[in-house]
Structure 1
Amino acid sequence: MSDVRYKIMFSGELMPDFDLAQVEQNLAQLFKSDIDKIRQLFSGKPVALKRDLSGAQAEKYLTALQRAGAKVSKENDLASALSLVATDDHPEPEPQTASASPAMQAQADDRMSCPKCGFEQPKAAECSGCGIIIEKFLARQTEFEASIQPATSSAASPYATPQAAVYDNTGEEGELKYLNFDGRIGRLRLLAWNLLLVLVAYAIIGVAAGMVIGDFLAPLGWLIGIAAFIASMVYSVSFSVQRLHDIGWSGWLVLLNFVPFVNIVFPFLMLFMPGTQGPNRFGPPPPANSTGVKVAAGIFIVILVIVPITMAISLPAYMAYMENAGMMGGEGMEGMEGMEGFDEEAFLEYQQQLEQQQ
């Protein structure tokens, strides 16, 4: 008696705490399929996502699909015991190979398709569409297939169910690149890195300013200050580009920070817009935030909130103090001229005497 075979059924229901768009994106990544084809699975009718699975294989597919947010179930696949095999009267069709000219063959040999996203490009070690390292991806794919394939496989049949592998690549993470215009970083890491950048830049510029003011190697101080300012600008633009990549936007949009009025709103969009769930065309998602990143981001948020509030409270009080002291805009002199009995000639003569004494 043969072993019991299973199938994975899906009727369009979602796991708790998952939304439809997120699950559609996850399934498109797992099955390496277009999002439009994945949406057809959410018609409400039961669909067999995988058939003819052993118990261990069915559990692995069940776990991977539930992690992606699809509420699937495992059922006995009774039809897997029935198969149509080739006979003498109905042999299996032989595959036909199309001949190609040498020029077309050479051109085809120079191009490749990404095994993950299907992007066609000249042969390279890295995919220009999704940013994966192709050799590493193929190695992980081989390991996964080896873990789910049975020890023995039956002969291929044109009536067999499609064997589409599901690759659980939702845990793939990108590498952090501190001075690079590739890659992705999240909102908290953007704040943490900018806080560190501001502290380092202010420290260097402060030392350079001390050298200039103290007339101690003033030319070197100017050189250090200018170099620190340029470096901080380059690093800041790099961080912003990687944040835009995390949202799924082009890094060239960072130029909007230099457009008047737009630069008032656009930084807040960069700060509050969530990143893309899973990989996008700029690469895999960034690593999870460490404790240090969370603490630094929290400090920066507190600074961004407290400093404007403090200025809004203290500036009117300072202006009122200056006005009462008669030191704003020459109001003190105007008040003296308005006083009865004020002798301007005597005041000027007294001022000249003070200058001569000095």
Structure 2
Amino acid sequence: MTEARYKIVFDGEPMPGVAMDTVKENLARLFKSDPSKIDGLFGGRSVALKRDLPEEEADKYLSALQRAGANVRKEHDRAAELSLVATDDHPDPNAVAAAEATTTDVMSCPKCGHEQPKSAECQACGVIIEKYLARQAQLAEESAPQKAAAVAASATTETASPYAPPQAQVGEQLPEFGELKVLSTTGRIGRVRYLGWSMGLLLAFLPIGALIAGSMAVSTTLSGLLVIAACVALMVVSLFIGVQRIHDMGWSGWLWLLNLVPVVGSVFALLMLFMPGTAGPNRYGPPPPPNSRAVIVLAWLILLVPILGIVAAVSIPAYQDYLNAEMGQSAGIDQPAAIEGEAAE
């Protein structure tokens, strides 16, 4: 029996929760095609993206296209299964008749075509048949990449119909991890990287704070302008980091504005700290790369900041009480000596 063949059908619909523009960009990158040609696949009618595929290869195409956001399905390719190729159950009658009619083992030289009884050497041209076939196979392997490049170049020069399915193989997968950009509202970052980048932002503004403190001795106007500029820069960078963290949860970045609402902002800030992101790709891109060692160290440092603040709030007053007690004791010892001196006079 012939092997079942399948085709990949696309109705022009994206996967649930995936934006249409994202699907178009992913398909254009997968098929290495012009985005204007990809738009023709979203005309509202079914298009067979790939035909005549075995089940294993069809599953590979189906998985890759669904990860790209295209709502595709696998169907039996009935037209490909209707083949006139001879099988074991239905052999070619002509081949059977020819095999039965052959009474002697006769061969043809692969180089000159001379017919002779089977032999290792051609009686006409004298070529060693086994070595000649091995050399031809080696030449064919060496020329295969050049032929493939020529076929690909000729295929790109042809003017294809906008409704024709892309002809490129789905060989390129979506990137495993997204690209990290601090000063951007696109992309995703996880909880640990959100904490690490926030701590890095605070450390970066420490020298700026020292500069502002030094400028107060020169001019209050200059120090005021520096304070305003530093606050604006801190707010903008915090906005970029926060939006990317919200994208990792699969939500719109506009929700960052909830941080400015009293009470609600406190609850939403806790959600940004503790709520995990989506495991795989979402409509804002692939997942972020694994956390580096520096990011993990910075994240632990920012977690230690409130702990150190509590310790300081407890220990500093206790230390001040201890100093006051020491000063009181020393003052009590010096006072009688002063009174005795006055009495002696």
Please indicate the TM-score interval, normalised by the length of the shorter structure.
Answer: 0.3 to 0.5
Structure with the larger helix share: 2
Is the radius of gyration larger for structure 1 or structure 2? 2
Could you state the TM-score of these two structures normalised by the residue count of structure 2? 0.47
Greater RCO (CA < 8 Å, at least 6 residues apart): 2
